[in-house]
């Protein structure tokens, strides 16, 4: 409706505000649940929060893929993660820097370097898996992707719990 178009900026920023509010609550609830049952923040982030924030991507990808637009489904998933890494992480840090006189933010994570290397290795395996399935989305590729995710999750959790020691630590970079 042409009459309602003038309200789109208000609607857009209202939607962003709702998303921000619920995101804050989701992180707070995950922290409280993790603290109550004895799960660290890192593990909650790798599991519960990661799954919770990926549900909208999953729903979007399924809807688009069922319409026969598999390329769009994959591109949406990749694009949203690139956006998260290049905008979602730096923007809050930048705001924090402006508010706190550009004081540095200490990032503490066991095996951060190894987790990043693991992420690139997983990306390589994903590309190889897609190639092995002749660039077609099928049940075998879905199973391979699920197995790759479980492997990534297990190794990441083991790195965070220091069951597997990362030879390079953040402090020694």
- Specify the pLDDT at position 173: 44
Which residues in 102-123 are b (16+ Cβ under 10 Å) and which e? eeeeeeebbbbbbbeebeeebe
- Specify the pLDDT at position 170: 59
Distances (CA, A) of 51 to 45, 48, 67: 9, 5, 24
Q: Calculate mean pLDDT across residues 125-141.
A: 91
Number of H helices, E strands in the chain: 7, 0
Please provide the average confidence, as pLDDT, over all residues in the chain. Answer: 87
pLDDT, tens digit, for every residue of 59-94? 988 899 899 888 888 888 888 888 888 988 888 889
Measured in whole angstroms, how far is the alpha carbon of residue 113 from the centre of its chain?
Answer: 17
- Specify the pLDDT at position 168: 76
* pLDDT at residue 172 is higher than 50: no
- Specify the pLDDT at position 21: 92
- Specify the pLDDT at position 29: 93
Encoding tokens for residue 85? 């890494």
Which residues in 46-59 are b (16+ Cβ under 10 Å) and which e? bbbbeeebeeebee
Q: Are 23 and 137 in contact (CB under 8 A)?
A: no
- Specify the pLDDT at position 35: 94
* pLDDT at residue 37 is higher than 80: yes
Q: Compute the half-sphere exposure of residue 111: CA atoms within 13 Å on the CB side of its CA.
A: 19
pLDDT, tens digit, for every residue of 85-127? 898 888 888 999 999 999 887 776 666 788 888 889 998 999 9
Compare 173 and 23 and report the one with higher pLDDT: 23
Q: Are 98 and 143 in contact (CB under 8 A)?
A: no
Encoding tokens for residue 69? 């637009």
């Amino acid at each position: 409706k042409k009459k309602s178009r003038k309200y789109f900026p208000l609607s857009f920023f209202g939607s962003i505000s709702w998303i921000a509010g619920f995101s804050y609550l989701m992180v707070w609830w995950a922290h409280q649940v993790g603290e109550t049952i004895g799960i660290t923040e890192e593990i909650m982030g790798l599991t519960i929060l990661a799954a919770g924030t990926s549900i909208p991507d999953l729903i979007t990808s399924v809807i688009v893929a069922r319409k026969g637009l598999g390329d769009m489904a994959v591109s949406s998933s990749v694009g949203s993660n690139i956006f998260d890494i290049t905008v979602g992480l730096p923007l809050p840090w930048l705001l924090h820097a402006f508010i706190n006189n550009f004081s540095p933010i200490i990032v503490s994570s066991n095996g951060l370097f190894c987790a990043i290397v693991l992420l690139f290795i997983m990306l390589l395996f994903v590309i190889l898996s897609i190639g092995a399935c002749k660039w077609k989305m099928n049940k075998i590729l879905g199973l391979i992707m699920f197995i790759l995710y479980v492997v990534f999750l297990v190794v990441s959790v083991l790195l965070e719990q220091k069951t597997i020691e990362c030879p390079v630590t953040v402090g020694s970079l």
